DNA sequence: ATTGAGACCTGTCGGC
DNA sequence: TGCCGACAGGTCTCAA
């Protein structure tokens, strides 16, 4: 499930257990997730300290005292949980607990991922920029450098749909199927539109590009701040998974529709998303 | 080069 | 109740 806000939530959750702590023991319960673990994975972590734990798009990046970087991706169903070592009642191991980091902080950081679309990789010093995913990744949406102009530049000339463009991590980092739909709804833009329509032929931003960039920041910020509060009742989403519901904007009387686009469900309000 | 379809996995849910 | 297909928040590869 994780998109940028959920990955950020996970980062904050495991930060106290990992940052500044040493890997005392690394348990690998499988040889692979989506791909095989890198060679000597456990050995290259053991004894190293986590200098910093950052997030880039949907990746978690742990900077190690060896100057290597540990990349972690949650895929569709991946999650971490933190357990205190030696606690009176250890949580039962789950069949999908694939990796356990035993940290010098006294915590065990457990990676659980039923579908195993997640991935872990170790990247040599200085090679992050050339990593296949990170190297080509677009701007961080919450960074001030990401704005309507940047978005328009990335979408200029693209013949694909606006929705598909937002899912392309090279255009902007961290959006997935939910928040792409949410941002388009907040911006009042149809997911069916051609991506190039938010830019002039020379790549300058139209008003819609500014609106969309602002909407992206807004839905992500709200999702991140909501994750630190108690769960609220009802759907957290404006359109996602709300087929048949009344559009919530109040600006129209539309009904949320679902259709399949690029193989994924898209939810939108045909009334107020043009 | 871009673009869409299919593949990779397991779990859950709704309908019969 | 049980079975079966559709679907799930993400990439990655491949062929047009």
pLDDT, tens digit (0-9, with 9 covering 90-100), for A18-61: 999 999 999 999 999 999 999 999 999 999 999 999 999 999 99
| Boundary (domain end) residue, out of A99, A130, A161 | A130
Residues A64, A121, single domain; the answer is yes
A119: domain CATH number? 3.20.190.10
What pLDDT is stored for residue A14 in this prediction? 98
The boundaries of the domain holding residue A35 are: 4-130
Which chain A residues in 48-87 sit with Cβ < 7 A of strand C?
A: 57-58, 73, 75-76
Total domain count, chain A: 2
For the record, the structure tokens of A96 come out as 């999908």
Name the band, by pLDDT with cuts 50, 70 and 90, for residue A153. Answer: very high
What pLDDT is stored for residue A248 in this prediction? 84
A159 to A20, A96, A165, A199, A252: CA distances (angstroms): 46, 40, 9, 12, 29
Residues A104, A187, single domain; the answer is no
Specify whether A125 is catalytic: no
Q: Of A88-92, A115-119, A244-248, where does mean pLDDT reach its minimum?
A: A88-92
Give a yes or no: residue A269 inside a domain.
Answer: no
The pLDDT of A220-237, averaged and rounded, is 79
Q: Cβ neighbours of residue A188 under 8 Å, at least 6 residues apart?
A: A211, A272, A273, A274
Residues A158, A51, single domain; the answer is no
Residues A116, A161, single domain; the answer is no
A8 CB inside 7 Å of strand C? no
A193: domain CATH number? 1.10.8.50
SS3 for A219?
helix
Is the pLDDT reported for residue A114 higher than 60?
yes
| Under 8 Å between Cβ of A119 and A90 | no
Give a yes or no: residue A143 inside a domain.
Answer: no
Q: Which of A11, A55, A58, A158 is an active site residue? A: A58
- Tell me the CA–C1' distance in angstroms for A164 and B16: 36
End-to-end distance of chain A based on CA atoms, in angstroms? 28
CB-contacted nucleotides of strand B (7 Å): 2-11
As a whole number, the mean pLDDT across chain A is 94
Give a yes or no: residue A48 inside a domain.
Answer: yes
- Whole-model pTM? 0.96
């Amino acid at each position: 499930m994780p998109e940028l806000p959920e990955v950020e939530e996970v980062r904050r959750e495991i930060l106290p257990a990992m940052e500044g702590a040493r890997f005392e023991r690394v348990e690998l319960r499988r040889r692979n997730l989506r791909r095989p673990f890198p060679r000597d994975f456990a050995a290259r972590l053991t004894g190293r300290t986590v200098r910093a734990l950052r997030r880039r798009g949907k990746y978690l990046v742990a900077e190690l005292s060896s100057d290597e970087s540990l990349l972690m991706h949650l895929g569709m169903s991946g999650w971490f949980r933190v357990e205190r070592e030696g606690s009176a009642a250890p949580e039962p191991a789950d069949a999908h607990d694939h990796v356990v980091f035993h940290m010098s902080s006294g915590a065990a950081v457990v990676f659980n991922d039923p579908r195993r679309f997640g991935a872990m990789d170790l990247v040599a010093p200085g090679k992050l920029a050339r990593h296949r995913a990170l190297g080509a990744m677009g701007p961080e949406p919450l960074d001030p450098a990401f704005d309507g102009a940047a978005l328009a530049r990335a979408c200029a000339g693209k013949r694909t749909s606006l929705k598909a463009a937002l899912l392309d991590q090279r255009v902007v980092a961290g959006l997935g199927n939910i928040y792409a739909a949410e941002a388009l709804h907040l911006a009042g833009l149809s997911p069916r539109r051609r991506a190039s329509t938010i830019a002039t032929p020379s790549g300058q931003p139209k008003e819609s590009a500014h609106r969309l960039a602002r909407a992206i920041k807004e839905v992500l910020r709200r999702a991140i701040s909501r994750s630190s509060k108690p769960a609220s009742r009802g759907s957290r989403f404006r359109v996602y998974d709300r087929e048949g519901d009344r559009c919530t904007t109040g600006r129209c009387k539309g009904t949320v529709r679902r259709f399949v686009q690029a193989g994924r469900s898209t939810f939108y309000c045909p009334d107020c998303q043009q």
